[in-house]
Amino acid sequence: MQVHIETDNHVEGRQALIEHVEGVIRDAVDRYEGRVTHVEAHLGDMNSGEKSGADDMRCLLEARVAGLKNIAVKHQAESLHMAIEGAAGKLTNALDSALGKLHDRERRHAGTGELSADAARELDDDAPPVN
Task: Walk me through the domains of the chain, giving residue ranges and CATH numbers.
Answer: 2-98 (3.30.160.100)
Q: What angle do CA 24, 14, 6 make, to 5 degrees?
A: 65
pLDDT in tens, 71-109: 999 999 999 999 999 999 999 999 998 887 777 766 666
Q: What is the DSSP string of 38-70?
A: EEEEEEEETTTTTS--TT-EEEEEEEEETTS--
C-alpha span between 82 and 24 (Å, rounded): 11
Express each pLDDT in 5-37 by its tens digit: 998 877 776 788 889 999 999 999 998 888 899
**For residue 61, pLDDT beyond 90:** yes
- Residue 126: the pLDDT is 56
